Structure 1
């Protein structure tokens, strides 16, 4: 087992990793920018190293500074968390080349799944169902027209190196296709430095279902059920729950086994999330995230496993201590992402936190690194916390979540807590009757938002 882990991240996920390490008897090294000198992860870690100025490109994305910090502190391994360098294959390679263990998948798997076209091809080769579309990059408008005619409108143009909704455009007909193709290429070039795009059939009312998998270095692979991440605004998730109210146990086990078999064929290691669109009883692969997900706590709440701990264990060479048959799932969990944003305009709301009170009680968890008097910097992602609630069933979970949202106090800044309060009182959400477009419509229709 490792003696010291450097955490190459910030905020709540850095604190989350620190806590898992301390419970395993592992010393921690925090890295931080000048803007995060008073951040909780830097205050609680055994050692803290400043790696650069406030801007992420000069600090949390500064590979040389991170590797130097690992070297001077004598770290054995580096955990990337999520975001920043977590899915950067070059970083993972450099970590290993410098003699540290990268707590995550192999660089080859990160590369494969980081390219949407390569990921789709790998999915097809390993038996994962995919959305009908192009076999590879769409390099001309004429080719786009031909493929769209074959699969039928509407179609979705997507950046091969995309993410977060950038480099994506829907075309309802031939007239819109040229504009969509050009727009997606232009946005992909600006956002990712790569204008390669591909095409898929655009599903009308799908849900976003993701399967959490965990694999060790000895060929053992298990799935930890699914998460429903359909509540999204501009392709950014706002609320996640597990299990999905749309699936039954037969569907869950079937797609979980497909995911596990695929990962065995690939020789995958560590945690990973295979994301699907689900419509009319069918699953369609969209991408795989080769990292820990923001929403991993809902899975932990229903299966009783610490995913960060498991990542560390398998990266050290330890085998999984359980089989698929021995895993047990219990109850229902929902996570609300609490962002420092105006709940009406969604504009960022950085500033100094005033009064701060988190909810508590049975089945309640808050993952956050803020505190009263903490200044939320304007340089990074606006998420300041995650409220995760567990109940014996979905109804109990919802009742508990309403109570907790009413108790949650973050003064001094605007947050999305009021939006979550409206969401959990909505009859359609209560009934589990929503898809990936539902939240956009809800925000547009609710004039009070």
Structure 2
């Protein structure tokens, strides 16, 4: 029998008073690697992640950081790529490799009872990769094919060209991948990048989940099986961004039915006092399904299936962007409506219903981002890399509970104006 609620009104919004932060314990391995441990969860599962402060920002040649990270699993001095994959499958463990712009993380999720076996295999991959020539050739051939396919997609082209417009062709954040780059990368490039970046002084270790009290001894026992050379930590050169002086750009693609739109600008990073309010402002504009851009351009005008805005935080910069894919015949109208919404968020205060829905969404999203030890580990990794502490999250809670419509208007007036945006249309 179906039970129908007699409630006439939605339950009142209950704002978050506090979040149970799973603050880590800190220890060190025998070679000086700091280990941050967050214990929690009822299941016998553990996640271990080594985070190296090396990404595409640190590479000397395109693809160098990405290929190095992805080929760690394609053979060591003692195991072939097939043997490595079979071992991960046999123990039901999930290998996780992620090469980003500023960092590279290599880790696994496994049953706690397989901790030692998984750890030994992970360390062998990190410390003793072989970078076989045939594996590199196959990897580059496959990635080049994907690159050529993506290069026919307006959304992909917009993302790549937009970064170049924001930072310049010579900046690591803006340098755009070329087809010829796949022919220039050599095995020696991978060996060099690995030697210069994958060493103890350049990494941290994150442990989360249901791990034994002897975790440090267990990790050290595995680590002592390998000779992991430590080298001097070099100063990373700073690169100055070169924002294009031309604000509007069109990249024609005559044979496409769709146009990709990117509009944005460099903005303050997450250590700025205004950042939390800018984050709230961004969410109202285009950061969730109930945003103003979605209501106008998707629901009212029907120009697109989706449009969003976001803040991207990098260790050496940050930027705001709006992205959508629309029919070619309505691209100019869509751009006009985007700018109308940017102006409106400065001039038209949000009503109570809009503010309540926004606050409710942000509160729920914030709570979900701390759900379980693995998510807690991700949040801690963020503040650790940016040199922050848990007070950053506490300040966000203060902002979440207290922001008013005029705060959003004031923030938008300070940071969101059409005349300082970079605009790109592809197609």
Structure with higher helix content: 2
Does TM, scored on the shorter chain, surpass 0.5? no
Structure with higher strand content: 1
Larger radius of gyration between Structure 1 and Structure 2 = 2
Greater relative CO, 1 or 2 (CA 8 Å, sep 6+): 2
What is the TM-score with the length of structure 1 in the denominator?
Answer: 0.27
